[in-house]
Structure 1
Amino acid sequence: MSALATQAKAARPAIRLGPTSWRVHPRATVCATVAGVAVLVLLVVNLSYGELKIPFVDVIRALLGDSSGVNSFIVRDVRLPEAAVALLAGLALGLSGALIQTIARNPLASPDVIGVNAGAAAGAVGYIVLFAAADSGVPAGVSADLGLPIAAFCGALLAAALLYAAGWRHGLDGRRLVLVGIGIAAALTACTSWLLVSARLQTAASAQVWLSGSLAGVTGSNVTWLLVVIVLVAPVALWLGSTLNIVELGDDTARALGIRTSRAQAVALLCAVLLAAVAVSAVGPIGFVAFVCPQIARRLAGTSRPPLLTSALAGAVLVQGADVITRLWLTGLAVGVVTSLVGAPYFIYLLIRKQRDLV
């Protein structure tokens, strides 16, 4: 690094909160601001288009509290739950992917690649097949709105525990984490397939639609669950940002600076699991959002690791954009299909690039 670059880095302002401080990256701040504006614009567009086109002005009025008229009813009661779930699920997946890629120090690591999403999907499908579709209904004392997120979280937590146990060797090695995670994801996907085969035809069909990453049928309870988890987990994840900057330098360097790498990685992994699980429980395993968005955010912001806030906002932009595309031009297609069409080529590109770097 040149002396001029070192001086420029040292001159960056910092935000201090007690013993913790965050260095402000101007380019990353601009990217986060632009992404935040894009999220709001896409929210208005998403609420405006449908079978009935509603003017943008009426959408904004409805969002600001105007409850009079048919347009306000359609915006607030019919379309807002789906649009809000798309926004919040994108935020959760983008932030989850940024956390996992940071602690793994590997751009190929993400919840959908290393098995966290597969675990959440297996838990949720198991709940749908074994309880929600049974004649006797859900277990006593557990509502359907409560049971599905709990089942998804338990499945994701199981996948994370297996991943942590198998991938830990005096620290989390990024290459080992990806290879072990791919195996765990394959095993959990096989479990999900077995559950679908053993289920009733109608139940299996509805679960398959959910597995494709569909926003159809989301309710206000999905919004509540997503909002609660994001409000509780996102501040913890963002607070870990300065610690993760040091952890990224390597375990030995972090320990020399007084950072407990094991605890920081465990807390970050738990936050990522919570975020991925609640997103999957709401909309199904939307593919490649958690994988693509952190890398796009990192390249746009010019940072050494995925910026957490920008990655989360990029996730919201991608999921909302996919929802708008399916609403306007690809009616009947699940949002997860669109995100996979975007993410799969990028995943192949990164695999080829990593292979060239290793040669």
Structure 2
Amino acid sequence: MVRTAGGLSLRLDLRAVLSGALLLAVAVAATVALIGSGDYPMTPSEVLTTLTGGGTTGQEFIVHELRLPRVLVGLLVGAAFGIAGAAFQAVSRNPLGSPDMLGLSQGASVGALVVIVWFHGEPRTVAAGAVVGGVITGLAIFLLAWKRGVHGYRFVLVGIGTAAVLYAVVLYLLTKSTLYDAARATLWMTGSLSGRDWSQVGPLAAVCAVLIPVALLCARPLRMLEMGDDAAAALGVRTERVRITVLLVAVVLVAAGTAAAGPISFVALTAPQLARRLTRAPGPNLLPAALMGAALLVGADWAAQRLFGADQLPVGVLTGVLGGGYLLWLLVAERKAGRV
């Protein structure tokens, strides 16, 4: 318990604070390592020197123009996916409630493919199409799942059904595309940080700067919602207003992240669960999930470059392989616990 000068008290969970500090340190270390990786390798000291304005002209160009935007997009997308996944899992009260499973990623993919296949759009219009597709999908799932409120398994089941329908639409669009557009669409759907520049950093940073604080303000009501709607309402929580706010914030975060880097799979599913296991704290653990998502995505991109060479393996492939294994383990654990 920490008491401020004004007489206010703030309860801090020491393990959660230390876990957050550890995740932040891992994210920073992965950031420095990723900036130093590539065809022109740099040591951590050279990276830090260049970031603080002391590098050579060549190093400054490589870091500030080529690598730093890619890393920043990875950090922001990982944080957005992590906090959105934690929000979805808290609202649905289901560890499988993530954008990967509920159709939001597929909706963003449909929006992007419509722009690619029908309009042959440029990257910026493709990103806009992904945002529109993700937001429309999120609203559709919310409306279809609404019946005197939004409740856990109904929300998840509607999302899974929507994901299946949208995946079929993705396949249809691919069959109607030219070979060039199909290659573009497939590369985009894989999910990658390659080639990201400052034009992706600015809009994504603005979205995260506005919406992540809104999500964090909802952390306490979300924690109360885990006790049930009646108990939360008795404590003064406006349950449906909190759910609607959190879902809208999470949908926009997922759509913006997908627009910037493609539908990188399983980060939103695994980051909240790993953060919760690390902190062992009740509640949605929104901030630890954001830090975990950022560390996971940047770390996975660094591992992909170290194992397979620069830009040889999109980070979405590696997260898909690792996340798929985690999903199988999670399903087995849920089955043993009698929840599925």
Would the aligned equivalents of 2:219 and 2:284 in 1 still touch at CA under 8 Å? no
Worse-superposed segment, 314-323 or 65-74: 65-74
Q: Which residue of 2 aligns with 1:184?
A: 162
Matched to 1:351, the amino acid is L
Which residues of 2 match residues 338-357 of structure 1 at below 5 A?
338-356=318-336, 357=338
**CA offsets, 1:74-102, max 9 Å, x none?**
11111111111111111111111011111
Flag structure 1 segments of 5+ consecutive residues without an equivalent.
1-11, 139-143
- Describe how 1:188-337 pairs up with structure 2 within 5 A: 188-331=166-309, 332-337=312-317
Distance 1:58 1:227, change over 3 A: same
State the 1:168 CA deviation: 2.5
Structure-2 change in CA distance of 1:168 and 1:14 (3 Å): farther
CA–CA separation in structure 2 for the residues paired with 1:203 and 1:251: 48
Matches within 5 A, 1:40-189: 40-66=28-54, 68-133=56-121, 144-145=123-124, 147-189=125-167
After superposition, what is the alpha-carbon deviation per residue over 1:169-193, rounded to whole angstroms, capped at 9, x for unaligned? 3333222222211110111111112
- Residues 293 and 314, structure 1, Cα contact 8 Å, conserved in 2: yes
**Structure 2 residue identity aligned to 1:354:** E
Hey, what's the Cα distance between the residues in 1 that align with 2:43 and 2:152? 48
> How far apart are 1:152 and its partner, in Å?
1.6
Asked if structure 2 preserves the Cα contact closer than 8 Å seen for 1:117 and 1:156, the reply is yes
Tell me, which stretches of 5 or more residues in structure 2 are unaligned?
none
- Call closer, same or farther: CA 1:223–1:15 in 2, change over 3 Å: farther
1:9 maps to what in 2? none
| TM-score normalised over the length of structure 1 | 0.88
Report the count of equivalent residues.
Answer: 336
Higher deviation after alignment, 147-156 or 73-82: 147-156
Instruction: Name the Cα RMSD after superposition.
Output: 2.1
Larger deviation, residues 75-84 vs 312-321? 75-84
- Letter matched to residue 230 of structure 2: D
Shift of 1:304: 2.3
**Residue type matched to 2:298 in 1?**
Q
Q: Is the 8 A contact 1:243 1:259 kept in 2?
A: yes
Identity %: 38
| Structure 1 pair 304–170 and aligned structure 2 pair: CA distance change class (3 A) | farther
- The separation in 2 between residues aligned to 1:222 and 1:246, in whole angstroms, is 36
Matched residues in 2 for 1:49 and 1:70: separation?
Answer: 15
Question: Alignment partner of 1:306: what SS?
Answer: coil
Structure 2 length-normalised TM: 0.93
> Per-residue deviation at 1:335?
0.4
> Do residues 36 (structure 1) and 16 (structure 2) align?
no
Cα distance in 2 for residues equivalent to 1:115 and 1:305: 24
- Distance of 1:327 and 1:105 partners within structure 2: 36
C-alpha contact (below 8 Å) 1:297/1:306 kept by paired residues: no
Aligned equivalents of 1:194 and 1:345: distance in 2? 28
**Residues 15 and 248 of structure 1: CA distance in aligned 2, closer, same or farther (over 3 Å):** farther
Distance 1:181 1:308 in 2: 22
Separation of aligned partners in 2, 1:106 and 1:215: 29
> What per-residue deviation string (whole Å, max 9, x for no partner) do you get for residues 195-246 of structure 1?
1211111011011011011122222111112101100101101111111111
- 1:261 and 1:15 map into 2 onto residues whose CA distance is 30
Amino acid at match of 2:163: A
For the structure 1 residues 39 and 153, does the alpha-carbon distance in structure 2 shift closer, same or farther, using more than 3 Å as the test?
Answer: same
Q: Conserved in 1, the CA contact under 8 Å of 2:65 and 2:197?
A: no
1:299 counterpart letter in structure 2: R
SS in structure 1 of the partner of residue 282 of structure 2: coil
Change in 2 beyond 3 A, CA 1:22/1:172: farther
CA contact (8 A) 1:295 1:306 kept: no
Q: What per-residue deviation string (whole Å, max 9, x for no partner) do you get for residues 108-135 of structure 1?
A: 10011111111111111212222244xx
State the shift of 1:16 in Å.
Answer: 12
2: CA distance between counterparts of 1:284 and 1:302? Answer: 31
